Structure 1
Amino acid sequence: MAAPLLVLVPGLLCDDSVWQPQIAGLADRARCWVAPNDGHDSLPALAAELLRQAPAERFALAGHSMGGRIALEVMRQAPERVERLALLDTGWQPRAGGEAGEAERRQRLALLAVARESGMAGVALRWLPGMVRPAAHGTAVYAQMQAMVERRTPTQFAAQVQALLDRPDASDVLARIACPTLVLCGEQDQWSPPDRHTAMAALIHRSRLVLVPDCSHMSTLEQPAAVTAALADWLTAPC
């Protein structure tokens, strides 16, 4: 019997390398396929593209950061295709209204301006330090993350920024999720903090919350063994 398909969705400015420790660690449990996270400037369109390209009708689905938001849009469009769901270092709420939402818009567009004026290396210098805990700065893993960001292009980044600024409210999706769901977050994640994940898990029936110690936003690379272990447990949970 063929191993089940595990669809992995990278986050903002990430590519398949963000999932490499899990792909290797779960090779005996699942066939892994990394979904695209660019080519469209809306989360619903990215979810539709994932569903079009996925190499199996039904699959387990794990999304990190922006990839988690794409995964929630997949659950909105075709929940019957998802056997189990994992949401890592992510969120479900739309951009806030008023000044808070405008502040986010200015912040994202300022970083996009850096990409257009200074290239993606400039983006990595400004963006990446806040995505990992200070102890990880200057490490080989940090250098790997820098190289990953630098492989992206300003055009890809612009589409992702637009998709996130226009992100839908997924509150109604959370309430309807019926499959086994892992909600995971680094304990030091300041971008998508633990209290958000605690609230998200409370809204999902049959969810399990995992908070990873000594870990910030880039959990799959910062603490790969802990994330892989949590995903392995999730993959074997009864449906």
Structure 2
Amino acid sequence: MDARDVWKSYGKNVANQGVSFNIDEGEFVAFLGPNGGGKTTLMRQIYGELYPDRGEIRIMGERPQKALRFMGVVPQEGRPLDSLTAEEHVTLLGMLKRFSRQEARAKARELLELMGIDPKARVDNLSGGNKRKVLIISAIISDPKILVLDEPTVGLDPEARREVWNYLVEMKKEGKTIILTTHYLEEAETLSDRVYFLNKKILLEGKVSEIKQKFSEYYVVTNVDSGEKYYVKREELMEFLGKANFRFEVKLSSLEEIFMRLFQ
């Protein structure tokens, strides 16, 4: 998948500014950035709901609208159909992806039970987190080559989020290409091969380990009692700690701390 100099505006408001990236087959990539930073706009162009004003996106050599048959998508604002049972909802999406009714129903039951959802439960009676899981299952039932997940675990409790993580890890092992946006920095750090920091344009890109190494000249010193954080250069660390009049913890920058430094 390739994007070249992608621009997208809403009137005078620029959402994406000259965005370029390359994602290899079987790679798990996360896009990180603040609210209003253009992540969802970019995802909507990747799965073909929007067209770039300038530039282009190619997926498996095709425009996104033609490549949609290879994709499973969980939009940020997606909502399941409340009038159906969980099984009916997922089965319908499987049939739209050209499974037979019998095949789609069997796969729907398997995935729903794996995610801890009663297939016969009405969607409108499910919790917000389980509704989100129904959307994720509906996206993966067709065994897509590419998954586009825009804030897929928002609203999930920690246990449910881990269940989704585990399933995504298994999908990656099967060679799926996965594109994720998330505000959970631990999620990106745990799952991703590479991350892009996006605020209208790409600010930083690389493997998580490479990015952390790039920022490793700074240590994060945390006041254990107040929670206040200090970013201290390696060569100044011993002097800083010698003058500290509080209990402290010292560690290298996490992805979350790098995010905060980029977008503060």
Fold agreement, TM-score > 0.5? no
Larger radius of gyration: 2
So what's the TM-score if we normalise by structure 2?
A: 0.28
Larger strand proportion of the pair: 2
Name the structure where helix makes up a greater proportion of residues: 1
TM-score (norm 1): 0.30
